[in-house]
Every structure is written in structure tokens, then in C-alpha cells.
Structure 1
Amino acid sequence: MNKITLILVLGLVSLWGAQMHSYKEAVSLQKQTKKTILLGVVRTGCHYCEDMEKNFFSDPEMLKYLDDKFIMAKVNISDEKLPLGLKVNFTPTFFILDSDLKVIKTIPGSWNKQDFKDLTEKIK
């Protein structure tokens, strides 16, 4: 029973460690941490967005990688406007923003975990 409790607690800690923030929260956190922002743009009913949420952002190893490297934020364009005058042709699209909130990389589309790591590995 203790092993099960430990596994559950570690799972919750890893999920809590990697949070999706609003854009405004991410900007505020960036001022404190100096991390780059990974801004995910989704829309309601987007099949590819849902697939990434289920298969990608629920993976504890991937969440740790992302949390160590980025402040993660999400904007649902069905409910809110994109900040900074950003535009997307389809969802999901990911923008990586530096400390001046300049886009340093745009990653359009749905990706598997390894490809996404490869695309973001050299970003500081």
C-alpha cells in the first residue's frame, strides 16, 4: 500500500510542477525566473490539440522536460485573443518567446514527444 501512495504522490508532484498558465501569468513569472515562454495556441474542438493534450502533455517525463526549460502558457483562440498581434493558420501552434516577448521560434502543428524535444532542445 505504501508503494501505491508514493507513486500517486510523485505523480501529483510532477503534474503540479508543470503547470499551464495564462499568458498574463506567464509574463509575470518570466520576470521572476527569466525562463522563455512556451505559448501553446489551441482552439475548442481541435482534434490535434486534444491528441497532444492526451498523449503529450499528460506524460510526466515530457512535463518535467518542458517545466525545466519553459514557462508553459496556453491560449484558446475560441475564447480569447492572441497576445502580441500573433497570428496562426491552424492549431495547435506553439510560440517560444524570449524575455523581451519576441518570438524566437514558431512550431506549427501536432508533434510526437521526441520530435518536439528535438525542435526545442537548443532553446535557452
Structure 2
Amino acid sequence: MKKILLMIPLIMFGIDYYSYKDAVKKAKELHKPVMIEITSSRCHYCKWMESTTLQDKEVVSFIQKNFIPVRIDVSKEEIPKGIEYSMTPTFIFMDPKGRIIKKIPGAWKKEDFFKILKEVKE
């Protein structure tokens, strides 16, 4: 029972990710940008950001409201054609037509990442 209760906050504040293919369709339908998180299961900084910044309820809420989020784990999945990165984590923001708006490498604290999200949204 304790394990179930401990998992509830993760479910409540986690980001609902789409597959890349579904995200591209959804972005066109809703006229929202796509936020692609390039991550790896072997990446310490990715794990840190996923357990801190990307669990913050304000960040999660902003992402869910303003973006179509995608997470691609390069240790398990292939990168879609046209998507390039040099390190993990990397965040790539695309407009609904698939054009890259901004590419942000590295792990970010909540305050800094939230500023980036707001800049991209504008």
C-alpha cells in the first residue's frame, strides 16, 4: 500500500508524453509547438532533470497546456529523420509545421527551464 501511495505524486505531476508521430499530428490539430526531450537511460543529467525540474507541478502544467511533449530515449529508440542532437538531455522545440524553433542542450533547474519555456511560447 505504501508503494502505491508513494507513486501517486509521480502520476499526478508527470508529463503525458506522445510518440513523435502522434505529436506531429496533434501539433497540427491544436496549433501548438512540439517539445522533444532527447534523453538516455544512461544519462545522469537526464535522470536528475526528470526527477526534479520535469516533476515540478508548475513546469508540468505549463508544458501540458502549451506544448505537445515527446520523450525520445536514444538508448532504446531511433531518432526521427531530421532531428539532430549532440548530447543528452537536449530539448528541441518545433512549430506545428515541423520547423525547429529552438534547440536547448543540457539539464536545467526549474527557474531557468521555465524561462526557456516561456520564451519559446512567445
Q: What is the TM-score when the length of structure 1 is the normalising length?
A: 0.82
Q: Which 5+ residue runs of structure 2 have no aligned equivalent?
A: 1-7
Inter-CA distance 31–14: structure 2 relative to 1 (3 Å threshold): farther
**Which residue identity lines up with residue 69 of structure 1 in the other structure?**
N
Partner of 2:79: 82
Partner of 1:122: 119
CA contact (8 A) 1:41 1:94 kept: yes
| 1:85-100 equivalence runs, <5 A | 85-100=82-97
Compute the displacement of 1:84 (Å): 3.2
Counterpart selection for 1:34 from 31, 36, 48: 31
Partner of 2:22: 25
User: What SS does the aligned partner of 1:123 have?
Assistant: helix
Compute the displacement of 1:28 (Å): 1.9
**Which residue identity lines up with residue 102 of structure 1 in the other structure?**
R
CA contact (8 A) 2:28 2:97 kept: no
| CA distance in 2: counterparts of 1:71 and 1:28, whole angstroms | 10
1:15 aligns with 2:13: yes
Compute the displacement of 1:12 (Å): 7.9
Q: Structure 1 vs Structure 2: percent identity of aligned residues? A: 32
CA contact (8 A) 1:36 1:96 kept: yes
Q: Which runs of at least 4 in structure 1 moved beyond 3 Å after TM superposition?
A: 11-16
| CA distance in 1: counterparts of 2:51 and 2:107, whole angstroms | 12
Q: Which 5+ residue runs of structure 1 have no aligned equivalent?
A: 1-7
| CA distance in 1: counterparts of 2:72 and 2:78, whole angstroms | 8
Q: What is the TM-score when the length of structure 2 is the normalising length?
A: 0.83
Compute the displacement of 1:13 (Å): 8.2
| CA distance in 2: counterparts of 1:12 and 1:80, whole angstroms | 23
How many residue pairs get aligned? The number is: 114
Kindly name which structure, 1 or 2, has the bigger radius of gyration based on alpha carbons.
Answer: 1
Compute the displacement of 1:81 (Å): 1.6
Inter-CA distance 15–115: structure 2 relative to 1 (3 Å threshold): same
